[in-house]
Amino acid sequence: MYKIAIAGASTLLGRELKEALSDSPLAAASFVLLDEEQAQGQLDRVGDEITFVQAIGADAFERADFTFFAGTEDLTRKHWREALRAGSTVLDLSGALDQETGVLVRAPWLGSEAATADLFTPAVVPAHPAALALALVLERLQLAAEVRFAAATVLEPASEFGRAAMDELHQQTVSLLSFQGLPRAIYDAQIAYNLLSGLGESARISLGAAEARIRRHYAALGGGRWPALALQVVHAPVFHGHTFSIAVELERAVEISALEEALGGEHMDLVLEDTDSPSNLAATGQNDVLVRLRPELGGSRNTNETSRLWLWAASDNLRLHAQNAVACALDLRRLRPAGTVQ
């Protein structure tokens, strides 16, 4: 039996991770739930096991086979080496470690990757959910034809920045409807009923940092197999779910039916009806990336094929991130075949 520690267990992502682990082959593991001191003592559940959230003490990671960091970047940076010294395999969902030497960005759902974790890998970062969704789309299209150019606008939800960001979006919405002043502690800008490509000077979060992370993770997952991605991140006034507007140009014209076939399959759900457009609401609770294809015919005589296309996609950002993290842990089990500290 494995022992699994979850640091940041009471966060939005931590809660999603617990559900994903409960539905995985790791559900029979022994779990230790850890978080900041303010969350200490909360009663929680993983699968059929009921336990308490504990503060991160000196022996918090003792004999833990896997440690998932699902809290803030500061929490990860403060404690990840402690988990390593305890012999635990570290999986960093916060993204704080993606530029550390030897740390790998991973997404086992993709075909071949640039690097594979081994006993000398200090930690693994499950890829940012937006980078994973984009990588899945580009990898599938490559099955039909080489991609010459790709550009994407990612609409980022409040839940990507944690519960405090969601609370401020909610409070701003209520304040606007009651003609009161807006709370701005997190965004330093009006985010309710508004689309923004940048936040206020005193904002505690950064769209630029989120965009840079998506770029790094996309590049790491591709390993040079896909073209560079033209990317912009826009904050949407929604609580949950990524949505994507993606423009793609292929090296040659391909039959639309072949493109639809390429976009189908595991982890992706191709939406064919206009009335069932992918959306952040439709994606909530779904394990797959929802995708709708619209060919850019551009005056071509053959309306059955195209080399240019638009894609509108949506995914449950927290669920996709948690599912990928569990897939990374299952992939890393080969390094711990007996479930014991090495």
Per-residue pLDDT of 97-144, as tens digits, reads 999 999 999 999 997 655 688 878 999 999 999 999 999 999 999 999
Structure confidence at residue 339 (pLDDT):
45
Buried/exposed 1-28: b ≥16 CB within 10 Å, e otherwise:
ebbbbbbbbbbbbbbbbbbbbbebebee
Phi, psi of 101 (to 5 degrees): -60, 130
Tokens of 153: 């606008």
- The whole-number pLDDT of residue 84 equals 95
Q: Where are the beta strands (DSSP E) in 185-256?
A: 229-235, 242-255
The pLDDT assigned to 291 comes to: 97
Q: What are the structural domains of the chain? A: 3-126+322-335 (3.40.50.720), 131-317 (3.30.360.10)
Q: How far apart are CA 24 and CA 17, in angstroms?
A: 11
Count of C-beta atoms within a 10 Å radius of residue 281 = 13
User: Using CA atoms, how far apart are residues 322 and 18, in angstroms rounded to an integer?
Assistant: 8
The pLDDT value recorded for residue 336 is 74
User: What is the model's pLDDT at position 304?
Assistant: 87
Residues 265-297 have pLDDT tens digits of: 899 999 987 778 999 999 999 999 999 999 986
Query: Where does the chain have alpha helices with state H?
Result: 12-22, 73-85, 129-142, 163-177, 207-222, 256-263, 280-283, 317-332
Burial 297-331 (b: 16+ CB within 10 A, else e): beeeeeeebbbbbebbbbbbbbbbbbbbbbbbbee
- Please list the ranges in the chain whose pLDDT falls under 70: 37-45, 47-49, 112-115, 297-302, 337-342
pLDDT of residue 219: 94
Q: What is the distance in angstroms between the CA of the first residue and the CA of the last residue of the chain?
A: 14
**What is residue 342's predicted lDDT score, i.e. its pLDDT?**
44
In the sheet with 268-270, reading across from the earlier edge strand, the strands are 229-235, 147-156, 242-255, 305-315, 289-295, 268-270
